[in-house]
Amino acid sequence: MEYSYIGKRIKRVDALPKVTGEASYFSDVNLPDTLAGKILTSPYAHAKILGIDTSKAESLPGVRAVVTSKDMPRVPLDFALAHFNRRVDLFAMASDRVRFIGEEVAAVAADNEEIAEVALSLIDVHYEEIKAVFDPEEAMSPDAPVLYDDMESNVAVYMPGDYGDVEKGFEEADHIFEDEFKTQLQYHAPMERQGCICKWDMNENLTMWTCTQTPHLHQYMVATILGIPIAKTRVVSPYVGGGFGAKAHQAFPYHIISAVLAKKTGNPVKIEYSRGEEFSFATAAPSFKIKLKTGVMNDGKIIAKQAIVVEECGAHCYIATGQLLCSIFFSFAHIYKVPNLKYEGMVVYTNNPNRAVALRGFGNTQTNFAVESQMDMIAEKLGMDPMELKSKNMFEQGDTDMMGWHFNSYGLPECIKQSAESADWNEKRAEKSPNRGIGMAALIHACGFKGSFGSIETSSAVIYAKQDGSFNLFTDFSEIGTGVWTVVQEIAAEVLGTRLEDIQVSAGDTAFTPFDMGSYSSRGTFSVGNAVKLAATDIRDQIFEVAAEMMEVKIDDLESKNCEIYAKETPDKKISIAEVTHHAIMESGKILIGKGIWNTPSSLFDPFSGTWSNLGPTPSYLFGCQVVEVEVDPNTGKVTVLSVDAAHDVGYPINLDMAEGQIHGGVMMGLGYALTENLALEDGKVLCDDFVDYFIFRAPDLPEIKPILVTTDDQYGPFGAKGLGEATMVPTAPAVANAVYNAIGVRIKDLPITPGKVLKALKEKKRG
Amino acid sequence: MEYSYIGKRIKRVDALPKVTGEASYFSDVNLPDTLAGKILTSPYAHAKILGIDTSKAESLPGVRAVVTSKDMPRVPLDFALAHFNRRVDLFAMASDRVRFIGEEVAAVAADNEEIAEVALSLIDVHYEEIKAVFDPEEAMSPDAPVLYDDMESNVAVYMPGDYGDVEKGFEEADHIFEDEFKTQLQYHAPMERQGCICKWDMNENLTMWTCTQTPHLHQYMVATILGIPIAKTRVVSPYVGGGFGAKAHQAFPYHIISAVLAKKTGNPVKIEYSRGEEFSFATAAPSFKIKLKTGVMNDGKIIAKQAIVVEECGAHCYIATGQLLCSIFFSFAHIYKVPNLKYEGMVVYTNNPNRAVALRGFGNTQTNFAVESQMDMIAEKLGMDPMELKSKNMFEQGDTDMMGWHFNSYGLPECIKQSAESADWNEKRAEKSPNRGIGMAALIHACGFKGSFGSIETSSAVIYAKQDGSFNLFTDFSEIGTGVWTVVQEIAAEVLGTRLEDIQVSAGDTAFTPFDMGSYSSRGTFSVGNAVKLAATDIRDQIFEVAAEMMEVKIDDLESKNCEIYAKETPDKKISIAEVTHHAIMESGKILIGKGIWNTPSSLFDPFSGTWSNLGPTPSYLFGCQVVEVEVDPNTGKVTVLSVDAAHDVGYPINLDMAEGQIHGGVMMGLGYALTENLALEDGKVLCDDFVDYFIFRAPDLPEIKPILVTTDDQYGPFGAKGLGEATMVPTAPAVANAVYNAIGVRIKDLPITPGKVLKALKEKKRG
């Protein structure tokens, strides 16, 4: 099939606005009489609140409102995650007890930030400090302070599972590997900091400008928490300056506090975190401790696997349970065939300040580090090439595994092959230079995952035709940087046979977009793409109906391209789309409105049977393999990445530039995760304050990254396309770890791989 | 049928925002770096432009752009009216010739209005004055200067018609009445003055904030004139501060000039007329001269009618032809049965500055004055009560007349009866007080009129359901004061069985509303109401489908009220709408999107057969009758209106307060038209500058107005409702004129009825 736009290099619709500074973010919204909102947070990791006196703050000139938990709604902020967490633990403000340094205790709205800061200092909170716990394993010990009175321990969620007969598997195994891996907190580091502006109008409608990846879910949560009709709550999420998960699903305390302050004062209220405040706000990928036991046969076949996964969530679950689920089901249970497996997953409370929100990879990244590091160790032990070991344990296209996951497209073998070829894997493994090494890691992930929010996986789109054959297209997707506006523009233009500029995309405002789950879970191209394809097809069918009448041909005989509609059988019969839409709208009274509703054919996990009833959590999985070459300085321990060859199964690429861009971005985050990024804590306090303390890879820091797009033509994806975003960072860290091992023979099982850890390991290795 | 909201007194959704000043009009939009746009206009009524030198203006500091006709698009602004006018005559700027004082010649964009004003004074236009003509009858004389080189005369449009045998009718008639009537220019006097703000973005999308009654038609025109895709042209028409027709259909020169200036400078450009400038801009109901000849039998039956209607349009047709059509077909041909009729209608160019745009009544008001004044004279001559004369000549419900107009609902008899009763007509006619008089006039009008724009009469609406049973509803209707947002809220809430506050109405922004013709032609309640009813029914059906499954009942058995869905047969089975929409959206993957497309079943006028092929121009006509009591001071000639009893057939009222409000507003405009309003001209110059020169009736100036709503349950209207807006002012002026005659025995055939005219007539009467 020869496409006009699909699979080409098409300029992003948001390119010019972004490079010129025209693009407007929530913080650029300037409303008259906006007050500055500031939040007072707990200085203690664990304490009782005995009383709060706000009178001094209230009497400060320029202070318009002071609020505490008494002013906050009683609906828990995480009500919509209750089916996951089996409990709720998050409110807009602490009432009788604080559980981490940074927990919201009071807030003010004042004429400017300076007055607000002074007002915070005038609020007297009477605390009584109590014992805190900062390590998840300590938190599980019987004498640890328990964070919640309604619980007997700090284990918020316990999720066990057992498939086949794992004991028997280990008995049969020729080799057993047991390792422990540890991952750090990773901060999302979006260029745009968290914040929002809230404004109520005379009719009690709330408008909230904020940076959310999921406007409609956000609207649903904010309205429900505040107890107002959802349709009277408008969430405007214009351009979003990066999210990476931190801006998905959550109604954060500041959202509700801002709305309450705005209601109380009658003015718009803006709360915006400074970079330092955002580091302390501490959204992060949760840290994991993973005990991984694998039994393999002499030929490399995996026969049994067992894991204990401990996820530390800080003082509130947020979306930790979803991440636990993904951490177990992707890398642990599904990159490779595992006939017998057993796991125990736990989400554990501590008094640490991190908020366990989503981050690219969503749990999978953490487990993938463990699984793919251990696979390298197994290959080494068996004297096999890691590629060969992987091939021995792979699925095949069309397979359905014991949990019910079905692989309708399966690009993993091709990803391994192409990344290895691109990186000269065989040559470099055969002829090793000193202190240089090459490593490989593979992955599986999903595009959309039924159960990642609620029990649905849906998108929708609406499209209006104009008299001149141009179209207004609406989806809920805010542009968080993924390029989804360009993707849906291409899809609609391809279906309709128009020019790209004839498709005007509007998104990121719940006041005029139909429901969509939003931008997360690598679901944009797949789910929104499918919804837009359905909507475009719907309106194209309506246009063809009018055209068939005008042309006196059968509808089924029609095709459109280059803004014209042709009759296949009589190709000289043609008419422009503009003529048809003009005739329909201006002469026939036929207003053309198309809609597309996509409901991913997939199923929910049934914890009782341990299976998915149909297809698995998604019909379409992502696969990839990255090969990393490093050089390690044995004197300093510094790891320099020389190249990353990243092959990813995208089903079919909608836009080559943007797909490659995702790989660049994901590898960049993956390298930070592997080597430098760590939201370090001490006694429950965040130690990082800025990007000097917290080093992310910037463009000049990057090695050569070679993106390789593997095509598998997924039968469910729009034009065969699958997602990509998250997959791109998942295998980077283990590939780096494996390359480090290949370079200098030391195995680092604890991320990030800092020079200190490398030197220490080298010293231990020397010691024997 | 017991309704929850229909036919009640429901508070307007725009009430609070308007009375508190929160409502935002285009002029409230503040964009950074906005330039002031100012237009240089012709000081001559008729002149050649020999040259324009803009160099001095361009070099003035603070001037960002100077444009003349060379910078303007070559597409005529009235291209969309060409099928009416059979010609185009309007461009954004005059190029080689100006045809009226005030015609656009050049424009500047500057840092502020003061600089822009100075810059205008620095533009040198070299004119050569030529002979002008200001009277339409003079303009038709062979030696008059002809305004357009491509024409042989100043008759822009000539529209003759002949039904039955009018000559024979006059031969048979017992009495023949021949009268000449004259109407003045009426200015719309909206509180919000004309203007717009234009802004282009980096992707060459144009956003125009302006005060238009017809956002989607405006978008279509502006985009076509500028040659850009319609979907890339956004017309935002937030609250509109009154339109009355002046803001419908037109892309005015200033719209295009502002867009060109904004494109050229790269800045937003705002053009806003001061009140004085707006008087000179001179949008107005065109003035008519009507020669009316009527033959009647002794029993009062009309047997023949003939009219010559001369409409003066100034130098450009604008929408004069549509008004000519309505002036002939409503009052002249259709209040009463006319077995034989003949007409000649003409639209005539002059060098007057008025722009012949729509104004409430749209031509009908002018002719109604003639027809209903003459009916009063006929009744007097025949010694009949005017009521009796009207009754003799009325149609009946269900009648289809010789032109194909079909009266599915027909409230005229009831309107006459109820207005007369309310005003104590019989008593006051029988026992006349000195200098007091009572008069009556009836009318027919349409709600929506196929052919009033293009060949369509359509509306559409889209509705999204939220998880809590609230709804976002979209229509194109900007809120110009008619209350349509409240009307559609009521309709949707009634259909869905929700609370009013569960329906959030969004409108007035082409970026997120589906196509609609907009707010004019008394079509809001009827057409948009029907579209919203269809959309609400569509989404209700989707909700019922889910509910039926949940409740295990048949869909057809379901009803909804008070936010709950009941099974009719098993009334204890019920479920809340919120439960159903939550289940659908959050648990079943069913995103609920409804749409409603209304295409009025009516037909276009066929000038060849002189008939409408089906139903007439609308399926649903408006009827009304107003009775006015006046007192005339014979010494000063001043007419004081004592009361107006206005009965209008609204089909079925959606909102009693708002329907009555329409009557108050229409009568107010009608009284101004009857007595005080006159956009006076002298040698092609507007003499009015402010509301001291131009007297409109304000609230304290008004007599007692008694609105009477007559119900006829129209079969095509939503819940039986028809339109109302325009009808309310149409018969006021002839009712006043008839009352004046009844009071003091003088007949004024030339509006407005000023003290001077009354005194002169009294003098002539005395003289005999």
Domains, chain A, in order of start with CATH, read 15-22+458-599 (3.30.365.10), 31-130+193-281 (3.90.1170.50), 132-183+285-392 (3.30.365.10), 408-454+614-768 (3.30.365.10)
Which residues in A217-357 belong to E strands, given as ranges?
Answer: 233-236, 269-272, 283-284, 287-296, 302-314, 340-349, 355-356
CA distance B201 to chain A (A): 8
Give the separation between CA A633 and CA A263, rounded to whole angstroms: 59
Parallel/antiparallel/unpaired status of strands B269-272 and B195-200? antiparallel
pLDDT bin (cut points 50, 70, 90) of residue B225 is: very high
Chain A residues touching residue B230 (CB < 8 angstroms): 466-468, 470
Q: Is the pLDDT of residue A260 over 90?
A: yes
Q: Is the pLDDT of residue B7 over 80?
A: yes
Contact A587 B454 (CB under 8 A): yes
The chain A residue lying nearest B459, using CA atoms, is A591
Helix (H, G, I), strand (E, B) or coil at B288: strand
Range B314-341 burial, b when 16+ CB lie within 10 A, else e: bbbbbbbbbbbbbbbbbbbbbbbbbbbb
Average pLDDT for chain A: 96
Average pLDDT for chain B: 96
Q: Would you call B590 an interface residue with chain A, using a CB distance cutoff of 8 Å?
A: yes
The answer to whether A584 and B454 are in contact (CB under 8 A) is no
Contact B593 A589 (CB under 8 A): no
Q: Residue A545: CA atoms inside 13 Å, Cβ hemisphere, count?
A: 11
Contact B470 A506 (CB under 8 A): no
Q: How is residue A524 annotated by DSSP?
A: I
Chain B residues touching residue A599 (CB < 8 angstroms): 589-591
pLDDT digits (tens, 9 = 90+) for B69-90: 999 999 999 999 888 788 999 9
Q: What is the pLDDT of residue A608?
A: 65
Dihedral, B735, B741, B746, B752 alpha carbons, nearest 10: -20
pLDDT digits (tens, 9 = 90+) for B504-525: 999 999 999 999 999 999 999 9
Helix (H, G, I), strand (E, B) or coil at B229: coil
Which uninterrupted H or E stretch holds A136? Answer: helix A136-139
Q: Which residues contact A534 (CB under 8 A, 6 or more apart)?
A: A461, A595, A596, A597, A598
Q: What is the pLDDT of residue A401?
A: 87
Contact A597 B587 (CB under 8 A): no
Give the separation between CA B624 and CA B411, rounded to whole angstroms: 8
Q: Would you call A456 an interface residue with chain B, using a CB distance cutoff of 8 Å?
A: yes
Helix (H, G, I), strand (E, B) or coil at B609: coil
Across the A:B interface, residue pairs with CB atoms under 8 Å apart total 150
For residue B148 the two structure tokens come to 């357009």
pLDDT, average across residues A597-621: 82
- Count how many residues are written for chain A: 768
Give the separation between CA A457 and CA A444, rounded to whole angstroms: 19
Give the separation between CA A690 and CA B187, rounded to whole angstroms: 64
Q: Is the pLDDT of residue A607 over 70?
A: no
Contact A232 B456 (CB under 8 A): no
The answer to whether B241 and B192 are in contact (CB under 8 A) is yes
Residue written as tokens 């009618």?
B305
Q: Would you call A458 an interface residue with chain B, using a CB distance cutoff of 8 Å?
A: yes
Q: Is the pLDDT of residue B1 over 80?
A: no
Mutate to test the interface with A, among B217, B267, B467 (most CBs of A within 10 A): B467
Give the separation between CA A605 and CA A618, rounded to whole angstroms: 11
Q: What DSSP string runs through B145-162?
A: PPS-TT-SSSEEEEEEEE
CA distance A659 to chain B (A): 22
pLDDT, average across residues A455-474: 96
Among the partner residues B230, B456, B593, nearest to A462 by beta-carbon distance: B593
Cis peptide before B752 (omega within 30 of 0): yes
pLDDT digits (tens, 9 = 90+) for A2-44: 999 999 999 999 999 999 999 999 999 999 999 999 999 999 9
For residue B334 the two structure tokens come to 């259709």
For residue A413 the two structure tokens come to 């073998």
Contact B470 A230 (CB under 8 A): yes
Contact A597 B591 (CB under 8 A): yes
The answer to whether A486 and A529 are in contact (CB under 8 A) is no
Distances in whole angstroms, Cα of residue B81 to Cα of each of A448, A583, B230? 51, 16, 18
Q: Would you call B13 an interface residue with chain A, using a CB distance cutoff of 8 Å?
A: yes
Among the partner residues A456, A467, A472, nearest to B586 by beta-carbon distance: A456
Give the separation between CA A227 and CA A243, rounded to whole angstroms: 27
Chain B residues touching residue A590 (CB < 8 angstroms): 597, 599
pLDDT digits (tens, 9 = 90+) for B568-627: 988 888 999 999 999 999 999 999 999 999 999 888 877 666 777 777 889 999 999 999
For chain B, the straight-line distance linking the first and the last C-alpha, in angstroms and rounded, comes to: 60
Q: Would you call B31 an interface residue with chain A, using a CB distance cutoff of 8 Å?
A: no
pLDDT digits (tens, 9 = 90+) for A729-746: 999 999 999 999 999 999
Q: Would you call B515 an interface residue with chain A, using a CB distance cutoff of 8 Å?
A: yes
Q: Would you call A201 an interface residue with chain B, using a CB distance cutoff of 8 Å?
A: yes
Chain A residues touching residue B591 (CB < 8 angstroms): 458, 460, 514-515, 597, 599
Q: Would you call B223 an interface residue with chain A, using a CB distance cutoff of 8 Å?
A: yes
Contact B231 A503 (CB under 8 A): yes
- Count how many residues are written for chain B: 768
Contact B230 A595 (CB under 8 A): no
Q: What angle do CA B152, B153, B158 make, to 5 degrees?
A: 110
Q: Would you call A506 an interface residue with chain B, using a CB distance cutoff of 8 Å?
A: yes
Q: Would you call A611 an interface residue with chain B, using a CB distance cutoff of 8 Å?
A: no
Among the partner residues A202, A230, A231, nearest to B20 by beta-carbon distance: A202
Cis peptide before A752 (omega within 30 of 0): yes
The answer to whether B530 and B459 are in contact (CB under 8 A) is yes
Range A108-123 burial, b when 16+ CB lie within 10 A, else e: bbbbeeebbebbbebb
Q: Would you call B239 an interface residue with chain A, using a CB distance cutoff of 8 Å?
A: no
Give the separation between CA A15 and CA A33, rounded to whole angstroms: 32
Parallel/antiparallel/unpaired status of strands A503-506 and A471-474? parallel
Dihedral, B355, B751, B142, B92 alpha carbons, nearest 10: 0
Q: What ipTM describes this predicted complex? A: 0.96
Q: Would you call A229 an interface residue with chain B, using a CB distance cutoff of 8 Å?
A: yes
Within its chain, how far is the Cα of A77 from the centroid? 20
For residue A552 the two structure tokens come to 């006196």
Helix (H, G, I), strand (E, B) or coil at B705: strand
The answer to whether A706 and A422 are in contact (CB under 8 A) is yes
Give the separation between CA A348 and CA A727, rounded to whole angstroms: 26
Give the separation between CA B518 and CA B527, rounded to whole angstroms: 9
Q: Would you call A82 an interface residue with chain B, using a CB distance cutoff of 8 Å?
A: no
Q: What DSSP string runs through B384-448?
A: --HHHHHHHT---TT-B-TTS-B-SS--HHHHHHHHHHHTTHHHHHHSPPTTEEEEEEEEEEESS
Q: What is the pLDDT of residue B443?
A: 98
Which uninterrupted H or E stretch holds B541? Answer: helix B529-551
pLDDT-wise least confident of A517-521, A569-573, A698-702, B193-197 = A569-573
Q: Would you call A222 an interface residue with chain B, using a CB distance cutoff of 8 Å?
A: no
Q: Would you call B576 an interface residue with chain A, using a CB distance cutoff of 8 Å?
A: no
Among the partner residues B16, B223, B587, nearest to A456 by beta-carbon distance: B587
Q: Which residues contact B472 (CB under 8 A, 6 or more apart)?
A: A231, A510, A511, A512, B463, B464, B466, B504, B506
The answer to whether A208 and A222 are in contact (CB under 8 A) is yes
pLDDT, average across residues B698-714: 96
Q: Is the pLDDT of residue A362 over 90?
A: yes
Taking alpha carbons only, the member of A662, A648, A727 closest to residue A326 is A727
Q: What is the pLDDT of residue B607?
A: 66
Chain A residues touching residue B474 (CB < 8 angstroms): 512
Q: What DSSP string runs through A573-631?
A: -EEEHHHHHHIIIIIS----EEEEEEE-S---EETTTTEESSS-S-S-EEEEEEEEEEE
Mutate to test the interface with B, among A468, A523, A590, A615 (most CBs of B within 10 A): A468
Q: Would you call B703 an interface residue with chain A, using a CB distance cutoff of 8 Å?
A: no
Give the separation between CA B577 and CA B544, rounded to whole angstroms: 9
pLDDT bin (cut points 50, 70, 90) of residue B374 is: very high
Q: What is the pLDDT of residue A615?
A: 76
Q: Which residues contact B39 (CB under 8 A, 6 or more apart)?
A: B104, B105, B106, B107, B120, B253, B254, B257, B271
Among the partner residues A20, A467, A514, nearest to B591 by beta-carbon distance: A514
Chain B residues touching residue A455 (CB < 8 angstroms): 586-587
Q: Would you call A512 an interface residue with chain B, using a CB distance cutoff of 8 Å?
A: yes
pLDDT digits (tens, 9 = 90+) for A49-90: 999 999 999 999 999 999 999 999 999 999 998 887 889 999
Strand partners, A599: A458
CB atoms within 10 A of CB A352: 33
pLDDT-wise least confident of B89-93, B390-394, B473-477, B548-552 = B473-477
pLDDT, average across residues B650-679: 97
Q: Which of residues 460-479 of B touch A (CB under 8 A)?
A: 460, 462, 464, 466-468, 470-472, 474
For chain A, the straight-line distance linking the first and the last C-alpha, in angstroms and rounded, comes to: 60
pLDDT bin (cut points 50, 70, 90) of residue A612 is: confident
Chain A residues touching residue B506 (CB < 8 angstroms): 511-512
pLDDT bin (cut points 50, 70, 90) of residue A1 is: low
Q: Is the pLDDT of residue B396 over 70?
A: yes
CA distance B317 to chain A (A): 21
Contact A231 B20 (CB under 8 A): no
Q: Would you call A501 an interface residue with chain B, using a CB distance cutoff of 8 Å?
A: yes
pLDDT digits (tens, 9 = 90+) for B283-301: 999 999 999 999 999 999 9
Q: Would you call B455 an interface residue with chain A, using a CB distance cutoff of 8 Å?
A: yes
Within its chain, how far is the Cα of B44 from the centroid? 30
Q: Would you call A595 an interface residue with chain B, using a CB distance cutoff of 8 Å?
A: yes
Taking alpha carbons only, the member of A725, A733, A719 closest to residue A622 is A725
Three-class SS string for A622-662? EEEEEEEEEEECCCCCCEEEEEEEEEEEEECCCEHHHHHHH
Q: Would you call B21 an interface residue with chain A, using a CB distance cutoff of 8 Å?
A: no
The answer to whether A460 and A515 are in contact (CB under 8 A) is yes
pLDDT-wise least confident of A387-391, B326-330, B452-456 = B452-456
Q: What is the pLDDT of residue B478?
A: 84
Q: What is the pLDDT of residue A85?
A: 83
Parallel/antiparallel/unpaired status of strands B195-200 and A63-68? unpaired
For residue A431 the two structure tokens come to 């002829």
Among the partner residues B224, B470, B509, nearest to A232 by beta-carbon distance: B470
Q: Which of residues 86-105 of B touch A (CB under 8 A)?
A: none
Chain A residues touching residue B81 (CB < 8 angstroms): none
